[in-house]
Amino acid sequence: MAALRDPGAVSAAAARPDPIALRALLARSRARVSEVGGDSVQISSTYYGPEQETEIANVLGRLDHGPEMAQLKVYVATPAEIAETCGETVIACYMPSEEEMIVSGLNQPVDGVPRDFAIAHEYGHHIAESQKGDLYPAIEAGTIRWATYERVCQFTRSRHLFPGDQGDHYWQDPEEAFAESYAHLTDPEDSVSWQYSPLLAPTPASLAKIQADLSNPWNGPASERVAGSVAEPASAAAPARVSGPAGSALEGAVAVSSPETFSRAVATPLDGRVSVTLQAPAGADLGVSLRDPGDGRVLAGATTGEGGTAQISYPSCGHDALQLEVRSLHGGGSFEAAVVKP
């Protein structure tokens, strides 16, 4: 939402359009279809005609966009309708559930924010709404490559950022910083100053991540198969089996290198949940773990139960890679592990 740059004014503006007011707007409006960059976009209004709607279509056509443009709907509102639906001192707002943007029909800046910049900001929300997220929905945390690069997960854990919090932490909400960054990407010469968390201030590298997400949206987790083998422990006093439900920790596990242990780095360039399903050979008890490659800490672990399978899941946050380890507790042989990661 494009609001006054004064954080104290946020309480006077709606973080999302009022759904009742929005339904009332749309019920009394008439719509027509405009061509925007090769896509058909429904633009409606009650009080404005084709001239103003064409202006909005031309602004949208100048934005970097993908196929998500065809899902966008736009209502061109009077200042009174904007105030009723979006809030005071607002130029535009966006309703994700309806993929509907409400934008002023008057091409006038508000508190130094040009209407075109506000439209670009709201379109940034539309891009995020159209894409998938993993640890957080993209509409709340920004698109996945941008969010990973900007360390949204780490800063959320340290309570410096608050995905989806449009209230007390509006200015620390990465969904707003993502939309504002997209607006700066679209119009880098604009003089609108950065008011959101300085942790997320746009840089050439972060803007390049937005471009990558826009040109090649993340389609969801990928899987890979890891196959290997482990030997039965040489000691007659083999470690006792520590069985349990999927996701339970390996007790007392330490990083070792031996025939009884298989280890491989798994690249995790994007933040998200990494899961491993291990299938042990008949008669063998195996342990599987994901370790921090830096200090060797076990981040998640489990041992095979009935059926010879073990499953673990770990929310990878800030790791470029994780170390997959399989070790024999009793018996040995060839195993397979299915790894699912962002």
pLDDT at residue 235, rounded to an integer: 65
**One domain, residues 180 and 284:** no
Q: Is residue 273 part of a domain?
A: yes
**One domain, residues 148 and 195:** yes
**One domain, residues 73 and 190:** yes
**One domain, residues 326 and 257:** yes
**One domain, residues 189 and 46:** yes
Query: Into how many domains does the chain fold?
Result: 2
Which of 198, 215, 232 is the last residue before a domain boundary?
A: 215
Q: How many helices and strands, by DSSP H and E, does the chain display?
A: 9, 13
337: domain CATH number is: 2.60.120.380
CA pair distance 162, 174, nearest whole angstrom: 7
pLDDT at residue 130, rounded to an integer: 97
pLDDT at residue 242, rounded to an integer: 40
**One domain, residues 158 and 254:** no
pLDDT at residue 199, rounded to an integer: 98
Which of 178, 197, 215 is the last residue before a domain boundary?
A: 215
**One domain, residues 257 and 194:** no
**One domain, residues 50 and 154:** yes
Angle between helix axes 204-215 and 174-186 (nearest 10 degrees) is: 90
pLDDT at residue 36, rounded to an integer: 77
Q: Domain containing 268: what range?
A: 222-341
pLDDT at residue 249, rounded to an integer: 35
pTM of the predicted protein model: 0.85
Q: What is the pLDDT of residues 264-308, one digit of tens each?
A: 999 999 999 999 999 999 999 999 999 999 999 999 999 998 889
CA pair distance 114, 19, nearest whole angstrom: 25
pLDDT at residue 257, rounded to an integer: 55
Tell me how far apart the terminal alpha carbons of the chain are, to the nearest angstrom: 29
Which of 182, 215, 248 is the last residue before a domain boundary?
A: 215
**One domain, residues 118 and 135:** yes
**One domain, residues 198 and 57:** yes
41: domain CATH number is: 3.40.390
**One domain, residues 196 and 231:** no
Q: Is residue 1 part of a domain?
A: no
pLDDT at residue 88, rounded to an integer: 82
Which residues are paired to 303 by β-bridges?
287
The answer to whether the CB of 181 falls within 8 A of the CB of 146 is yes
pLDDT at residue 125, rounded to an integer: 97
Residue type, position 330, single letter: H
CA pair distance 35, 171, nearest whole angstrom: 34
Q: Is residue 2 part of a domain?
A: no
**One domain, residues 179 and 262:** no
Report residues of the chain scoring pLDDT below 70.
1-15, 37, 190, 235-257
